[in-house]
């Protein structure tokens, strides 16, 4: 007996599975966003640098929140087909969704001087570390 779990196909998938290859043309959208945003995090003495992959996302759909040492990235992705006059659509696929990720850094971040840049599908955050505040000594009486 096989240990594999069978994949349930929708009625739409079953219909197109039986057609001869080449009967229809699949749209080429690329892959939708993964379940989790992939990040690289590096640290220097002054700051953290975070690179996050967000292919196909517009700059306006990216949201970054920093609170103390917790960084939250979220993005809204929308892929739509463009219909041209005179074209007959045989098969169309669209996807729409949101992906987000939160993680804690080893020390607090200075939100006031943080910066973000988005270029070629990669979001780069530069998050300066907050200056360490020396503890105040309390005199015991």
**Helix-, strand-, coil-residue percentages of the chain, each rounded to 5:** 10, 35, 55
* Nearby residues of 102 by Cβ (< 8 Å), 6 or more positions away: 70, 71, 72, 73
Confidence at residue 64, expressed as pLDDT on a 0 to 100 scale: 95
30-81+93-128 has which fold? Immunoglobulin-like (2.60.40)
0.85 exceeded by pTM: no
Confidence at residue 30, expressed as pLDDT on a 0 to 100 scale: 52
Strand partners, 104: 70
| Tens-digit pLDDT string for the chain (141 aa) | 555 555 555 555 555 555 545 444 444 455 555 667 899 999 999 999 999 998 878 899 999 999 989 999 999 877 766 667 777 767 666 667 788 899 999 999 998 899 999 999 999 999 999 887 667 778 888
């Amino acid at each position: 007996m096989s240990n594999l779990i069978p994949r349930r196909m929708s009625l739409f998938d079953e219909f197109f599975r039986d057609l001869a290859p080449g009967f229809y043309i699949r749209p080429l959208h690329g892959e939708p966003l993964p379940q989790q945003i992939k990040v690289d995090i590096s640290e220097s003495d002054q700051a953290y640098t975070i690179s996050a992959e967000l292919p196909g996302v517009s700059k306006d759909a990216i949201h970054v929140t920093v609170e103390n040492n917790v960084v939250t990235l979220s993005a809204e992705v929308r892929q739509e087909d463009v219909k041209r006059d005179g074209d007959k659509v045989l098969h169309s696929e669209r996807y729409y969704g949101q992906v987000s990720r939160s993680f804690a850094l080893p020390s607090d971040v200075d939100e006031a001087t943080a910066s973000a840049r988005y270029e070629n599908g990669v979001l780069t955050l530069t998050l300066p570390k907050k200056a360490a505040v020396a503890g105040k000594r309390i005199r015991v009486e």
